[in-house]
């Protein structure tokens, strides 16, 4: 399958060289077939892109809506404010001073008293 630009260049050359109607017709039919093939491929890719965008949006909504909100989550850490084992891990970040050299900051939210706190943990 020659590229569209090659077909167009061939038509331009044929016209410039005084080609007969049969030659031009043949080249134009070939160009038409190529154009139809590209249009079909374009339509397929548009449909596929729409499906992927929908799937991405669905996945984004699943990620943004946790299955168990903090109020329902079970605590795994002892809260320093109410002393209950009701601290729910919210996030893990690198230490602001040491970066990724082994120390991390664990952010918690207490499902009992609602306060937030963090702990520095060696990795």
The segment with the largest mean pLDDT, out of 6-10, 19-23, 91-95, 98-102, is 91-95
Please give the Cα distance from 87 to 110 (Å, whole number): 4
Tokens encoding 23: 């030659």
CB–CB of 113/92 below 8 Å?
no
More confident residue, 82 or 95: 82
Place of tokens 């984004």: 60
Which CATH code is given to the segment(s) 77-122?
A: 2.20.25
* Residue 70 scores a pLDDT above 80: no
CB–CB of 24/13 below 8 Å?
no
* Start-end of CATH 2.20.25 domains in the chain: 77-122
* Residue 45 scores a pLDDT above 80: yes
Please give the Cα distance from 4 to 20 (Å, whole number): 21
Per-chain mean pLDDT for the chain:
84
Residue 73: which pLDDT band, with cuts at 50, 70 and 90? low
Instruction: Determine phi and psi for 61, rounding to 5 degrees.
Output: -70, -35
* Residue 111 scores a pLDDT above 80: yes
Q: What is the pLDDT of residue 69?
A: 56
């Amino acid at each position: 399958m020659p590229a569209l630009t090659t077909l167009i260049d061939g038509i331009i050359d044929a016209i410039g060289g005084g080609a007969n109607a049969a030659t031009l017709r043949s080249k134009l039919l070939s160009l038409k077939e190529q154009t139809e093939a590209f249009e079909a491929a374009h339509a397929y890719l548009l449909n596929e892109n729409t499906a992927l965008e929908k799937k991405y949006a669905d996945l984004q909504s699943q990620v943004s809506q946790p299955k168990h909100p903090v109020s329902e989550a079970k605590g795994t850490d002892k809260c320093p404010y109410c002393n209950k084992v009701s601290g729910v891990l919210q996030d893990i970040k690198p230490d602001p001073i040491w970066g990724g050299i082994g120390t991390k900051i664990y952010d918690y939210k207490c499902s009992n008293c609602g306060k937030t706190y963090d702990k520095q943990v060696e990795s």
